């Protein structure tokens, strides 16, 4: 690998430095910056950037002129006639859109590159390479102290970036395109001053644009995917996938893509790609191809090839791009992409802590195999890589050591463009300033390692406060390694190794950093960076929930943490954090955690169980304490977020369940009766009972009575989020059972909830399923009347750890006055089902 990287860097840079006494900056007071009158807007802006940055570095402000005042003492910006005729003249042919060349001699300097961004990027490269300037954030450019400036060497230097598409996906780049240009992020603005964007576009979910059920659903349902014998039109993730072997679908998509390209003649590529769901077509034609090719990408790629063939006839220079994502990530056995097809390979299943090509990481090995397979059949591969926790934008995310290695892996596999997805739809996510700097620099020069960039940024940006922050970053990475964790891009606190001890140490590091801050400016930077430590404390800092006098409230392990949540919200707002998750605005999340301060609660108890429920939070069950063993089967009360690790009934169809809703509640002995009225007058009644005749069991009775004037279809599921007590993926440690006649173990060789025996869950009609932790000696069983249940469903993520033993009601259309019910029972297991 090192040989490949070294060779790649030589080809990219082509740097040759001539021995010289050097050019002293103090001798440049009478120099001029030369840019021609007919130069591109980006070249003229490059001249003004050189002027500003040179003054910031040396204190010398050079004039900008259109013709050189003399034959020497000129800084030529752009490939104008004067530069080409000068002693430092050169041609920029072969540098593409962004390649750059810098020539430094005793009395002249020339910086020029490909059109339209090469010259501008050359100016930024000049100041980084020869003067030590660093573009840290949009409001923090580092200029080295004058005594540290070394004379400019005589040099010829060329750099052609290997990636034509580089997107460090942070909102800060979109909001400050001048800063994005300094980082050489070429995807955020059409402004000609910054050289515009690359004409290469991100390949994304797009088929819903070309063929959708609103237009064709009623007249041509056969245009859409057949799944389990049904052509469903109300599929999430952009809507149903099309039937990709239907000739009329190919005609429609190709015609509309060509029409769009006719209207955008400068487009270099175009997305024809799957929607964001797994409901691909299983009709006989599609399935025959997919079985033969060993992947659903078989039929999909044949479809993309067919569209690309038609596009080529009218737009021969346009590439048709498609995602290799989720179920299409694996390359087909025999179908190959046409020469005008791009593949954008997505790493969403990968471990984010380990480098993608780390052979010791089982989670990443398959991706490397897929990369090798695509590389063998496609010359135009792009990558969609994931660099944040989409479930919690401000949670510590330990992937800073793998970024550089991943980017090197991409360039060594001939990848042409990279989308490094982070929290780009929000601002001030976890260490976003640092991450943006690291990612952008690695994309510009893929030979770089990411950790030295982390250290450089922290020491320059946080100054005297840098070491505690670096200690914190090292600690969260080392902690994940020590615990042998493999976090993805939707990890919970447990998956990134957070415990009360780790969260409190994280918070202490930032307390130390704040105390060491040089001035108020640095203090504000440290405070912004500390948001992730606050989130670590909120989710994992050891604050437990206690029921007292009809309320649940948070108890912190130390008095100094009181008020922590209020301060967290204050600094988030101060530093303009706008999104808490990929789909949750920060203010919505703040309202959620404010509600948790004092939650109304009711309790039920018998000798076997203590149950705690929250009537005003959809009646969630947050504590299921088995009193004889002291084990809580739910994590909510011992978790920072009391609304996670719970049990409730969840609407699948008919009404919204996520919006917090209040139930009226009446407690009668060891039963609690909950009632809620929906907007249309429909009534939900729920009864939770600790049965004196069967004290080990908890009974749940749920009924919805429809009161609306029109018939409506409802479906509901019971969703217990059990804590299995271990994150093992070994079925001999954590076993999953389903009752179908007798009890059957279903998680042989499972690594998640989609193992080889998963289909058994939807077929079983025995009226029960369970999990059991053999090492800890406990488990839980869910039983139900199979004649009144549509199907059970298991959701399992050992990394969390969490087991959902879900039961679905039938989907029923109800007329006014008609009801739908779902009844089931939980039981604590002291031994596995036999």
pLDDT digits over 396-408, tens only? 999 999 999 999 9
Q: Check pLDDT > 50 for residue 818.
A: yes
Ramachandran region of residue 427, left (φ > 0), alpha (ψ -120 to 50) or beta? beta
**The pLDDT of residue 17:** 43
Tokens representing 58?
A: 């040396």
Is residue 314 exposed (0-12), middle (13-18) or buried (19+ Cβ within 10 Å)? exposed
Across 105-109, 554-558, 656-660, the highest mean pLDDT is recorded for 105-109
Tokens 């993730």 belong to which residue? 237
Q: How many Å is the Cα radius of gyration of the chain? A: 30
Q: Check pLDDT > 90 for residue 644.
A: no
Establish how many alpha carbons lie within 13 A of residue 201's alpha carbon, considering only the half-sphere containing its beta carbon.
20
409/795: higher pLDDT: 409
> What would the mean pLDDT of 260-272 be, rounded to a whole number?
93
Is residue 820 exposed (0-12), middle (13-18) or buried (19+ Cβ within 10 Å)? buried
Model confidence pTM above 0.75: yes
84-93, 190-199, 715-724, 742-751, range with the lowest pLDDT: 742-751
Q: Check pLDDT > 50 for residue 6.
A: no
**The pLDDT of residue 14:** 43
Contact 444, 166 (CB under 8 A): yes
CA distance 575 to 729: 40
Give the domains, in start order, of the chain with CATH numbers.
2-160 (3.30.379.10), 200-322 (no CATH), 471-587 (no CATH), 601-829 (2.70.98.10)
Which one, of 539, 530, 514, lies nearest residue 571 by Cα? 530
Which one, of 342, 280, 268, 274, lies nearest residue 305 by Cα? 342
Q: Check pLDDT > 90 for residue 700.
A: yes
Q: Compute φ and ψ for 611, nearest 5 degrees.
A: -115, 135
* Residues facing residue 491 across a β-bridge: none
pLDDT range class, residue 641, cuts 50, 70, 90: confident
Which one, of 438, 440, 387, 456, lies nearest residue 180 by Cα? 440
> What would the mean pLDDT of 231-259 be, rounded to a whole number?
94
Q: Three-state DSSP class for 619?
A: coil
21-30, 180-189, 436-445, 794-803, range with the lowest pLDDT: 794-803
CA distance 488 to 768: 31
Distant-in-sequence, close-in-space partners of 580: CB < 8 Å, separation ≥ 6: 392, 393, 394, 586, 588, 589, 590
Distant-in-sequence, close-in-space partners of 708: CB < 8 Å, separation ≥ 6: 680, 681, 682, 816
CA distance 633 to 646: 9
**The pLDDT of residue 493:** 92
Count of C-beta atoms within a 10 Å radius of residue 313: 9
Distant-in-sequence, close-in-space partners of 133: CB < 8 Å, separation ≥ 6: 53, 56, 57, 127, 141, 142, 143, 144
Q: What is the residue-averaged pLDDT of the chain?
A: 93
**The pLDDT of residue 752:** 63
Contact 399, 359 (CB under 8 A): no
CA distance 48 to 62: 10
| Percent of the residues in the chain that have a pLDDT greater than 90, as a whole number | 84
**The pLDDT of residue 7:** 37
**The pLDDT of residue 796:** 79
Contact 830, 777 (CB under 8 A): yes
CA distance 257 to 263: 10
Q: 263 to each of 252, 266, 272, 309, 702, how far by Cα in Å?
A: 17, 9, 17, 19, 55
pLDDT range class, residue 19, cuts 50, 70, 90: very low
Q: Check pLDDT > 60 for residue 21.
A: no
**The pLDDT of residue 5:** 38
**The pLDDT of residue 80:** 95
Q: Check pLDDT > 70 for residue 469.
A: yes
Ramachandran region of residue 156, left (φ > 0), alpha (ψ -120 to 50) or beta? beta
| Percent of the residues in the chain that have a pLDDT greater than 70, as a whole number | 96
> What would the mean pLDDT of 700-717 be, rounded to a whole number?
96
334-348, 498-512, 747-761, range with the lowest pLDDT: 747-761
In the DSSP assignment, the letter for residue 463 is G
> What would the mean pLDDT of 144-164 be, rounded to a whole number?
94
pLDDT range class, residue 754, cuts 50, 70, 90: low
Contact 761, 747 (CB under 8 A): no
CA distance 443 to 430: 20
Question: What residue spans of 91-162 are helical by DSSP H?
Answer: 118-131
Strand residue runs (E) in 44-151: 64-65, 74-77, 100-104, 108-113, 134-137, 140-142
Contact 619, 658 (CB under 8 A): no
> What would the mean pLDDT of 135-154 be, rounded to a whole number?
95
Helix (H) or strand (E) holding 477: helix 466-482
**The pLDDT of residue 2:** 38
């Amino acid at each position: 690998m090192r040989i490949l990287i070294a060779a790649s860097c030589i080809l990219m840079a082509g740097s040759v430095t001539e021995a010289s006494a050097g050019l002293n900056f103090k001798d440049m007071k009478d120099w001029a910056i030369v840019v021609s009158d007919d130069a591109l807007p980006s070249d003229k802006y490059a001249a003004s950037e050189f002027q500003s940055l040179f003054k910031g570095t040396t204190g010398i402000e050079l004039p900008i002129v259109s013709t050189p005042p003399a034959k020497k003492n000129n800084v030529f910006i752009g490939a104008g006639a004067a530069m080409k005729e000068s002693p430092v003249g050169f041609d920029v042919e072969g540098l593409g859109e962004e390649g750059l060349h810098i020539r430094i001699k005793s009395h002249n300097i020339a910086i020029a590159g490909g059109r339209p961004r090469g010259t501008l990027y050359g100016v930024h490269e000049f100041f980084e390479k020869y003067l030590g300037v660093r573009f840290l954030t949009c409001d923090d450019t580092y200029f080295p102290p004058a005594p540290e400036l070394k004379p400019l060497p005589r040099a010829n230097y060329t750099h052609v970036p290997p990636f034509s598409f580089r997107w460090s996906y942070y909102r800060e780049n979109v909001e400050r395109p001048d800063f994005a240009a300094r980082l050489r992020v070429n995807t955020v603005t059409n402004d000609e001053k910054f050289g515009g964007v690359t004409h290469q576009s991100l390949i994304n979910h797009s088929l819903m644009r070309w063929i959708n059920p609103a237009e064709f659903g009623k007249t041509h349902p056969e245009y859409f995917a057949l799944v389990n014998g049904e052509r469903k039109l109300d599929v999430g993730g952009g809507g149903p996938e099309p039937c990709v072997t239907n000739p009329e679908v190919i005609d429609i998509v190709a015609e509309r893509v060509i029409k769009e390209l006719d209207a955008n003649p400068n487009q270099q590529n175009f997305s024809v790609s799957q929607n964001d769901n797994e409901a691909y077509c299983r009709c006989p034609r599609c399935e025959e191809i997919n079985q033969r090719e060993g992947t659903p990408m078989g039929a999909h790629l044949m479809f993309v090839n067919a569209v690309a063939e038609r596009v080529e006839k009218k737009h021969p220079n346009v590439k048709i791009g498609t995602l290799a994502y989720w179920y299409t990530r694996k390359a087909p056995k025999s179908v190959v992409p046409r020469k005008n097809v791009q593949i954008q390979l997505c790493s969403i299943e990968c471990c984010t802590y380990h480098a993608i090509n780390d052979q010791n990481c089982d989670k990443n090995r398959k991706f490397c195999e897929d990369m090798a397979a695509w590389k063998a059949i496609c010359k135009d591969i792009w990558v969609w890589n994931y660099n944040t926790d989409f479930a919690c934008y401000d949670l510590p995310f330990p992937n800073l050591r793998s970024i550089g290695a991943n980017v090197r892996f991409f360039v060594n596999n001939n990848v042409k463009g990279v989308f490094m997805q982070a929290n780009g739809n929000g601002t001030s996510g976890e260490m976003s300033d640092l991450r943006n700097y690291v990612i952008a620099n690695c994309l510009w020069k893929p030979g770089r390692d990411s950790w030295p960039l982390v250290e450089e940024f922290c020491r320059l940006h946080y100054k005297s406060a840098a070491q505690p922050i670096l200690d914190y970053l090292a600690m969260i990475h080392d902690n994940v390694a020590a615990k042998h964790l493999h976090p993805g891009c939707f990890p919970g606190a447990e998956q990134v190794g957070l415990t009360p001890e780790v969260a409190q140490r994280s918070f202490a590091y930032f307390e130390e950093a704040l105390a060491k801050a040089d001035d108020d400016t640095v203090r504000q930077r440290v405070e912004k960076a500390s948001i992730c430590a606050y989130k670590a404390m909120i989710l994992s800092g050891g604050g437990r929930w206690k029921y007292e006098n009809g309320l649940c409230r948070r108890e912190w392990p130390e008095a100094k943490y009181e008020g922590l949540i209020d301060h967290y919200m204050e600094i988030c707002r101060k530093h303009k954090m706008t999104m808490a998750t990929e789909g949750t605005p920060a203010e919505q999340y703040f309202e959620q955690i404010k509600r948790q301060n004092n939650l109304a609660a009711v309790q039920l108890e018998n000798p076997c169980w203590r149950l705690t429920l929250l009537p005003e939070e959809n009646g969630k069950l947050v504590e299921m304490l088995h009193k004889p063993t002291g084990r809580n089967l739910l994590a909510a009360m011992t978790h920072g977020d009391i609304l996670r690790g719970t049990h409730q009934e969840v609407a699948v169809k008919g009404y919204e369940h996520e919006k917090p809703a209040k139930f009226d509640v009446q407690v009668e002995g060891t039963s609690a009766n909950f009632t809620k009225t929906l907007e249309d007058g429909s009534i939900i009644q729920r009864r939770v009972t600790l049965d004196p005749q069967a004290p080990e069991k908890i009974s749940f009775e749920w009924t919805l009575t429809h009161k609306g004037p029109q018939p409506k279809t409802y479906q509901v599921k019971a969703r217990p989020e059990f804590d299995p007590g271990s994150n093992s993926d070994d079925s001999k440690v954590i076993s999953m059972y389903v009752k179908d006649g007798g009890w059957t173990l279903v998680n042989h060789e499972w690594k998640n909830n989609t193992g080889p025996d998963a289909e058994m869950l939807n077929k079983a009609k025995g009226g029960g399923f369970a999990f059991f932790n053999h090492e800890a000696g406990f488990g839980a069983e869910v039983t139900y009347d199979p004649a009144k249940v549509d199907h059970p469903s298991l959701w399992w993520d050992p990394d969390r750890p969490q087991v959902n033993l879900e039961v679905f009601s039938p989907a029923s259309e109800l007329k006014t006055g008609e009801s739908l019910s779902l009844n089931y029972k939980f039981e604590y297991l002291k031994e596995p089902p036999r």
